Amino acid sequence: MRIFIDSADTEAIKRCWDTGLIDGCTTNPTLISKSGRDPRSVYDELAEMGVPDISMEVMGNAVEMQNEAMKLYTEYKEVATIKLPMCQDGLKVCKELSNLGIRTNVTLIFNAAQAILAAKAGANYVSPFVGRIDDQGYAGTEVVRSIVGLYQQQRVSTEVLAASIRTTQRLVRAFYSGATVVTIPPGVFWNSYQHVLTDVGLSIFEKDANG
């Protein structure tokens, strides 16, 4: 049961990382663009922090993605997970990287058929977008459950990394549905500490402890 932080805001990630409960990070071009930074300056800072698994997304055609992936792997070695879009070129590059033993994450997964192809391409992770499936009126966590069930039945080693998680409820349901990794924004991480009865109980304990 691993928790990744889905962000390119290194200050926010550092606060989460310092809790000792975080196992990795995922980024994407939108998150990098929101940070206003060059992707490599974000990856450098995360690698320096000690984050052991950083999803770094590559874009373009197959040749461009392959070239960028090889550069990223050369620079970041085993902390790099190359994130590829779910499309023909993305899976082609995924297969090549997988043959070289480079860790991969196929993103923008919305159904089990796509997850089958990504597994065939040797992906280490597939990222179903739970929140965006919810937005369409279907339960995103049911897609997680169907991919997990299918992989188990077929003895596929690809892991399901649930993404596009916007609430603590979806974090919990994603793990219940069998995801082995869930990536969450910092806000969802901090909300997971909270319960009103914990606050009430803590203040009673504090009062009683002090006589």
- 95 is a contact residue toward ligand G3P (CB under 6 A): no
Among 3, 6, 156, 174, binds ligand G3P (CB under 6 A): 6
- 131 is a contact residue toward ligand G3P (CB under 6 A): yes
Give CB contacts under 8 A, 24+ apart, made by 47-51: 47/76, 47/79, 49/10, 49/13, 49/14, 49/17, 50/17, 51/13, 51/17, 51/22, 51/24, 51/25, 51/79
Helix (H) or strand (E) holding 108: strand 104-109
Specify the 3-state DSSP secondary structure of 152.
Answer: helix
d(CA 56, CA 2): 18
Distance of CA 185 to the CA centre of its chain: 10
> Among residues 14, 77, 83, 207, which one is catalytic?
83
Distance of CA 118 to the CA centre of its chain: 16
x/- contact string, 162-201, with ligand G3P (CB under 6 A)? -xx-x----------------x------------------
- 35 is a contact residue toward ligand G3P (CB under 6 A): no
- 132 is a contact residue toward ligand G3P (CB under 6 A): yes
105 burial via Cβ count (<10 Å: 0-12, 13-18, 19+):
buried
Which residue from 130, 46, 120 is spatially nearest to 81, judged by alpha carbons? 46
CB of 188 to ligand G3P, least distance (A): 10
Contact region with ligand G3P (CB under 6 A), list: 76-84, 95-103, 127-135, 140-148: 127-135
Judged by CB, which is closer to ligand G3P: 31, or 58? 31
CB of 103 to ligand G3P, least distance (A): 17
Greatest CA separation found in the chain? Answer: 70
Judged by CB, which is closer to ligand G3P: 53, or 96? 53
CB of 95 to ligand G3P, least distance (A): 22
User: Do 147 and 115 form a contact (C-beta atoms < 8 A)?
Assistant: yes
Specify whether 92 is catalytic.
Answer: no
- 129 is a contact residue toward ligand G3P (CB under 6 A): yes
Judged by CB, which is closer to ligand G3P: 66, or 105? 105
Binders of ligand G3P: how many residues, by CB under 6 A? 11
Measured from the Cβ of residue 201, the count of other Cβ atoms closer than 10 Å reads 11
- Kindly list the catalytic residues: 83
For ligand G3P, the binding residues (CB under 6 A) are: 6, 26, 28, 31, 129, 131-132, 163-164, 166, 183
